[in-house]
């Protein structure tokens, strides 16, 4: 029996916030409920922080940046983040249970949500340790004689990190650890539905690391105004955000008056172009799995499948069989790959979009409702819709459910045109027996990332970002680290 199987069951997270080095409740003691999506039961509470709490956290982060050596003492930062990595390792099974409790993510697929981010702490610590913060850019002629230019990479300042609920622990780490090792101070505002992946992170920082008071703060809240206060606060130098495009626009607007640096990873509506020479039996079952594995709650999911008209029904049959056999159920049961949607509101949104697809002429091939054997919990059937009009709402709006839409195309040009018919430009996928042909198609997709033949574009080593309304800037890779740094160019005597 693995450690995971030994230690199962709902586990409430820490109900406190971390503000200026203290694990605290909000002044009036207000809390809000956290619900386990697989049982619909309240699993515990989180602090319902206020705009005042956010103000105190930002003040602490500002002071820690302006008045301590944090931003200048790389050795100390490496020491603290090495401690953080070790502490997260020690708390791994606890964090996994808290994550499953608040997200409903199946235990069998928690590796990318627990092991990967913990590994990333180590990666970023090493990356930050080795980074060249001072680069000699050579001697250049100027009207006043030759000048040497040196580039000094410096922390941006106070970073506000706002995270969503779909992969909360991973994103809490991905948005804050590169910022911290680069010398910034941070205020983290986790999503309402998943406060504990943030509060547990705060507890571990406070109890098990030497990270100084104010350098890292976590403010949980059930109110959007608290995130809005962070994104508008003039004491904050940068916002890093993952979430919906609508909220991204609000954050960009809120930061405009103080010209905040803003890193946005927003929505997607990615297309998977299956070329007519592709191995359908390899690519389509995987496509179905990707749609279901996080209950479809993933921004990079290629949710629009484009099939060649010549092999359309063949492709639909494979997708249908894969979705009908997908293991949906209790997230604590090993082998289950799809859990519930995170909330009833989200499930209703998904079911509403499926209905809008049917209303606009799409053909329901399988799914479309609630699994009969799972009346409790916010479960949704894996759903396949064919003949989807590329201009319809279901082809244009992010669904965030276990739903694939399928649209036929005539030739490669037509497929590319349908794929690019979107306000989003996050990811894409191409399947073909001919990798050169797939590559040519990939270069024509207006997205930040493309996967060819299931070889994923996503990883800590390579930049990840969206084009069009899918985002600004990059996470991951050397580029992702530099986002948390400003360059000071110093002209000086040779
Ligand atoms: P979703 O729509 O999927 O719930 P959102 O993009 O609304 O996701 O939320 C992601 C994060 O943004 C959450 O932490 C949420 O609290 C926060 N948020 C929501 N509205 C705002 C806002 N106006 N300003 C800043 N943060 C916000």
Domain definitions of the chain by residue range: 3-266+471-492, 271-459
* Topology match between the domains 3-266+471-492 and 271-459: no
Tokens of 132: 């060249």
Using the mean position of ligand 1's atoms as its centre, give its distance from the Cα of residue 161 in Å: 11
Residue of 17, 32, 163, 164 to test ligand 1 pocket, by largest number of atoms within 8 Å of CB:
164
3-state secondary structure the chain: CCHHHHCCCCCCCCCCEEECCEEECCCCCCEEEEEECCCCEEEEEEECCCHHHHHHHHHHHHHHHHHCCCCCCHHHHHHHHHHHHHHHHHCHHHHHHHHHHHHCCCHHHHHHCCHHHHHHHHHHHHHHHHCCCEEEEEEECCCCCCEEEEEEEEECCEEEEECCCCCHHHHHHHHHHHHHHCCCEEEEECCCCCCHHHHHHHHHHHHHCCCCCCCEEECCCCCHHHHHHHHHCCCCCEEEEECCHHHHHHHHHHHHCCCCEEEEECCCCCEEEECCCCCHHHHHHHHHHHHHCCCCCCCCCCCEEEEEHHHHHHHHHHHHHHHHCCCECCCCCCCCCECCCCCHHHHHHHHHHHHHHHHCCCEEEECCCCCCCCCCCCCCCCEEEECCCCCCHHHHCCCCCCEEEEEEECCHHHHHHHHCCCCEECCEEEECCCHHHHHHHHHHCCCCCCEECCECCCCCCCCECCEECCEECCECHHHHHHCCEEEEEEEECC
Average pLDDT, the chain: 97
**87-110: burial string, b at 16+ Cβ within 10 Å, e else:** bbeebbbebbbbbbbbbbbbbbeb
Using the mean position of ligand 1's atoms as its centre, give its distance from the Cα of residue 164 in Å: 7
pLDDT of residue 352: 98
Q: How far apart are CA 166 and CA 196, in angstroms?
A: 13
Q: How far apart are CA 160 and CA 147, in angstroms?
A: 37
Question: CB of 295 within 8 A of CB of 336?
Answer: no
Question: CB of 451 within 8 A of CB of 460?
Answer: no
Residue of 162, 222, 298 to test ligand 1 pocket, by largest number of atoms within 8 Å of CB:
162
Question: CB of 265 within 8 A of CB of 167?
Answer: no
The candidate with the shortest Cα–Cα distance to 354, out of 280, 404, 289, is 404
State the number of CA atoms in the 13 A half-sphere of 29 facing the CB.
0
The candidate with the shortest Cα–Cα distance to 198, out of 227, 225, 237, is 227
Active-site entry in 299, 398, 429, 483:
299
Question: CB of 288 within 8 A of CB of 326?
Answer: yes
Q: In what order do the strands lie in the sheet with 485-492?
A: 134-140, 147-155, 485-492
Using the mean position of ligand 1's atoms as its centre, give its distance from the Cα of residue 265 in Å: 12
**70-83: burial string, b at 16+ Cβ within 10 Å, e else:** bbeebeebeebbbb
pLDDT value at 3 more than 60: no
The candidate with the shortest Cα–Cα distance to 164, out of 103, 232, 105, 111, is 103
CA R_g for the chain: 23
Pocket of ligand 1 contains residue 231 by CB under 6 Å: yes
State the number of CA atoms in the 13 A half-sphere of 232 facing the CB.
11
Q: How far apart are CA 157 and CA 429, in angstroms?
A: 37
Positive or negative, the CA dihedral 61, 65, 67, 72 is positive
pLDDT of residue 2: 43
What is the separation of C-alpha 58 from the centre of its chain, rounded to a whole number of angstroms?
Answer: 23
Is position 299 annotated as part of the catalytic site? yes
Pocket of ligand 1 contains residue 345 by CB under 6 Å: no
Average pLDDT over residues 207-215: 98
Which pLDDT band, with edges at 50, 70 and 90, does 7 fall under?
low
Pocket of ligand 1 contains residue 394 by CB under 6 Å: no
Which pLDDT band, with edges at 50, 70 and 90, does 273 fall under?
very high
Average pLDDT over residues 353-357: 98
Of the chain, the percentage scoring pLDDT greater than 90 comes to: 98
Pocket of ligand 1 contains residue 243 by CB under 6 Å: yes
pLDDT for 226-251, tens place per residue?
Answer: 999 999 999 999 999 999 999 999 99
Average pLDDT over residues 125-152: 98
pLDDT of residue 159: 99
The candidate with the shortest Cα–Cα distance to 54, out of 241, 228, 239, 240, is 228
Beta bridge partners of 304: 271, 405
Pocket of ligand 1 contains residue 245 by CB under 6 Å: no
Pocket of ligand 1 contains residue 163 by CB under 6 Å: yes
Question: CB of 77 within 8 A of CB of 178?
Answer: no
Nearest ligand 1 atom to alpha carbon 247: 6
pLDDT value at 1 more than 70: no
Active-site entry in 120, 200, 265, 398:
265
Question: CB of 380 within 8 A of CB of 372?
Answer: no
Using the mean position of ligand 1's atoms as its centre, give its distance from the Cα of residue 243 in Å: 6
Tokens of 178: 């590169």
Q: How far apart are CA 38 and CA 374, in angstroms?
A: 9
**355-370: burial string, b at 16+ Cβ within 10 Å, e else:** eebeebebebbbbbee
Which pLDDT band, with edges at 50, 70 and 90, does 8 fall under?
confident
Question: CB of 148 within 8 A of CB of 138?
Answer: yes
Assign domain 3-266+471-492 to its CATH architecture.
Answer: 3-Layer(aba) Sandwich (3.40)
Q: How far apart are CA 120 and CA 115, in angstroms?
A: 9
Question: CB of 209 within 8 A of CB of 84?
Answer: yes
Pocket of ligand 1 contains residue 226 by CB under 6 Å: no
Average pLDDT over residues 148-163: 98
Average pLDDT over residues 294-320: 97
Average pLDDT over residues 67-92: 98
pTM: 0.97
Tell me which of 3.40.50.11540, 3.40.50.2000, 3.40.50.2020, 3.40.309.10 is the CATH number of domain 271-459.
Answer: 3.40.309.10
């Amino acid at each position: 029996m693995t450690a995971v199987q030994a230690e199962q069951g709902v586990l409430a997270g820490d109900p406190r916030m971390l503000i200026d080095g203290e694990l605290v409740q909000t002044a009036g003691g207000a809390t809000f409920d956290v619900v386990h999506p697989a049982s619909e039961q309240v699993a515990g509470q989180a602090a319902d922080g206020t705009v005042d709490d956010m103000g105190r956290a930002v003040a602490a982060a500002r002071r820690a940046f302006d008045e301590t050596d944090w931003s200048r003492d790389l050795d100390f930062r490496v020491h603290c983040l090495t401690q953080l990595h070790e502490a997260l390792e020690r708390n791994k099974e606890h964090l996994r249970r808290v994550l499953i409790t608040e997200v409903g993510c199946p235990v069998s697929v928690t590796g990318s949500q627990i092991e990967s981010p913990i590994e990333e702490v180590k990666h970023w610590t090493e990356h930050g340790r080795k980074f060249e913060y001072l680069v000699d850019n050579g001697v250049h002629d100027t009207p006043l004689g030759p000048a040497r230019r040196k580039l000094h990479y410096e922390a941006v300042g106070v970073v506000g990190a706002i995270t969503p609920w779909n992969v909360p622990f991973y994103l809490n780490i991905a948005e804050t650890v590169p910022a911290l090792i680069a010398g910034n101070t941070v205020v983290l505002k986790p999503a309402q539905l998943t406060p504990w992946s943030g509060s547990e992170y705060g507890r571990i920082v406070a109890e098990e690391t030497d990270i100084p008071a104010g350098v890292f703060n976590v403010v949980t809240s059930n109110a959007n105004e608290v995130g809005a206060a962070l994104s508008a606060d003039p004491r904050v130098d940068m916002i890093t955000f993952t979430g919906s495009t609508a909220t991204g626009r609000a954050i960009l607007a809120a930061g405009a008056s103080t010209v905040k640096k803003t890193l946005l990873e927003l929505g997607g509506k990615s297309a998977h172009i299956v070329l007519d020479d592709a191995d359908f039996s390899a690519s389509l079952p995987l496509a179905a799995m990707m749609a279901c594995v996080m209950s479809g709650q993933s921004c990079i999911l290629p949710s629009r499948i484009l099939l060649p008209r010549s092999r359309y029904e063949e492709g639909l049959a494979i997708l249908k069989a894969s979705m009908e056999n997908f293991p949906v159920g209790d997230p604590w049961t090993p082998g289950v790959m799809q859990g519930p949607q995170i909330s009833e509101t989200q499930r209703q949104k998904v079911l509403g979009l499926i209905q809008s697809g049917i209303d606009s002429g799409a053909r329901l091939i399988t799914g479309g409702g609630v699994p009969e054997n799972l009346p409790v919990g916010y479960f949704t059937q894996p759903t396949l819709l064919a003949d989807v009009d590329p201009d319809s709402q279901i082809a244009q709006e992010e669904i965030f459910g276990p739903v694939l839409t399928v649209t036929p195309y005539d030739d490669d040009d037509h497929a590319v045109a349908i794929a690019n018919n979107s306000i989003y430009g996050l990811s894409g996928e191409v399947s073909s027996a001919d990798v050169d042909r797939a590559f040519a198609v990939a270069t024509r997709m207006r997205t930040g990332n493309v996967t060819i033949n299931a070889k994923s574009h996503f990883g800590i080593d390579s930049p990840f970002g969206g084009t069009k309304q899918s985002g600004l800037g990059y996470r991951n890779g050397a580029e992702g680290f530099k986002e948390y740094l400003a360059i000071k160019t110093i002209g000086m005597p040779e």
